[in-house]
Amino acid sequence: MRSSMKMDIALLLLLVKSAEMRWRSIYQKRAMLKPKVKLMTKFLKAILGKNIIGITLCPFGIYVKLEYLTRVKTINHEKIHWQQQLEMMVAGAIMSVITGVVLMLLGIFAWWMLLLLVFPLLFFYLWYIIEWFLRIFINGNKAYISLSFEREAYTNAENQDYLKTRKPYSWLKYMVKKK
């Protein structure tokens, strides 16, 4: 009985290790996804203003002003935002599915539930805006630079290997300001 139990535990550990290795492999391949870097359009320039040099609009691409297209640090900064946005899309999709199922179980069906389809795309920006408003009260005019998404991107923009070793949802550790 004991040897059978040891074999079961060993098999379970092997399965867990296999699943962990598979997950790491999938995540590393995802981290290596190369978003399309595009020239910022006149439309985006008009909306964003002249001070913005780049913006990441996942899943559409990274848009950068012409003079910054060859700056590796800027592109890497935006690629970090790309990963953050992919993660927030996954979290938003999970929340949308759970909300949809709960509403359906409660017998609530309405046209506005279609907004749950768009929520994953907007979740990053919703979080970004809410955190920015909170940071205005905490950090005043340094609200933008103290955002968790921006702190991760600026801290690691020069490290070209960061996306290869980055763990999912790494921006969360930047939520609390380190002294």
- What are 105-124's pLDDT values in tens digits? 888 888 777 888 889 889 99
* Residue carrying structure tokens 């907007």: 122
Whether 77 has a pLDDT exceeding 70, the answer reads yes
pLDDT digit string, tens, across residues 89-105: 999 999 988 988 888 88
Both tokens of residue 41? 């359009």
The span from the CA of 145 to the CA of 20, in Å, is 35
DSSP-derived 3-state class of residue 143 = coil
* Cα angle 86, 42, 37; round to 5: 35
Average pLDDT, the chain: 84
Kindly give, in sequence order, each residue whose CB lies less than 8 Å from that of residue 30, ignoring residues fewer than 6 positions away: 86
Whether 82 has a pLDDT exceeding 50, the answer reads yes
The region of weakest confidence among 24-33, 38-47, 66-75 is 24-33
Whether 14 has a pLDDT exceeding 50, the answer reads yes
pLDDT at residue 32 in the model: 47
Whether 57 has a pLDDT exceeding 60, the answer reads yes
pLDDT at residue 112 in the model: 79
Q: What is the pTM of this model?
A: 0.77
Q: Give the number of other CB atoms < 10 A from CB of residue 40.
A: 19
pLDDT at residue 152 in the model: 95
Whether 12 has a pLDDT exceeding 70, the answer reads no
Confidence of residue 136 (pLDDT cuts 50, 70, 90): very high
